[in-house]
């Protein structure tokens, strides 16, 4: 799973409103020929990214090259189960990446278009965002 080696701040504030705006960075296919672009807002966890990566690599049978364009660097905290209210903020539990519409999540190179389409379709089932197949312009 992806997680940062070192973080400047262990615990982050929860954002007021997440579903605002569209992606202004990581919004074009840069490395490969085909990409998977998000259509909705969401937090994508490192487990979901890893699950989608496994589906893609298994479907393309490890041919071609794949890039993961997002990295989960936002810590999400959780309090212990059956913990009373109060007593401060919980400990960091997992890491997420904030995905906006237009963000390219994965890229593929060296596979036929129909194989890339199907691999990304299967990977979309593992992600909390609806996503579309995009080609390099």
Q: pLDDT at residue 17 above 80?
A: no
SS (H, E, C) the chain: CCCCCCCCCCCCCCCCCCCCCCCCCCCCCCCCCEEEEECCCEEEEHHHHHHHHHHHHHHCCCCCEEEECCCCCEEEEECCCCCCCCCCCCEEEEEEEEECCCCEEEEEECCCHHHHHHHHHHHHCCCCCCEEEEECC
Q: Which domains does the chain have, with CATH numbers?
A: 44-76+93-135 (3.90.1170.10)
Q: What tens digit of pLDDT does each residue of 106-119 get?
A: 999 999 999 999 99
Q: What tens digit of pLDDT does each residue of 49-105 get?
A: 999 999 999 999 989 999 999 999 999 999 999 999 999 999 999 999 999 999 999
């Amino acid at each position: 799973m992806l997680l940062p080696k070192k973080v400047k701040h262990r615990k982050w504030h929860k954002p007021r409103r997440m579903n605002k705006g569209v992606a202004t960075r990581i919004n074009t296919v840069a490395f490969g020929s085909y990409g998977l672009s998000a259509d909705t807002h969401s937090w994508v966890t490192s487990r979901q990214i890893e699950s989608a990566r496994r589906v893609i690599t298994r479907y393309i049978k490890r041919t071609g090259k794949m890039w993961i364009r997002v990295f989960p660097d936002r810590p999400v905290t959780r309090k212990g189960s059956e913990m009373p209210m109060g007593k401060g903020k919980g400990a960091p539990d997992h890491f997420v990446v904030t995905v906006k519409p237009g963000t390219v999540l994965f890229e593929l190179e060296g596979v036929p278009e129909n194989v890339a389409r199907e691999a990304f379709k299967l990977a979309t089932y593992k992600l909390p965002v609806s996503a579309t197949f995009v080609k390099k312009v």
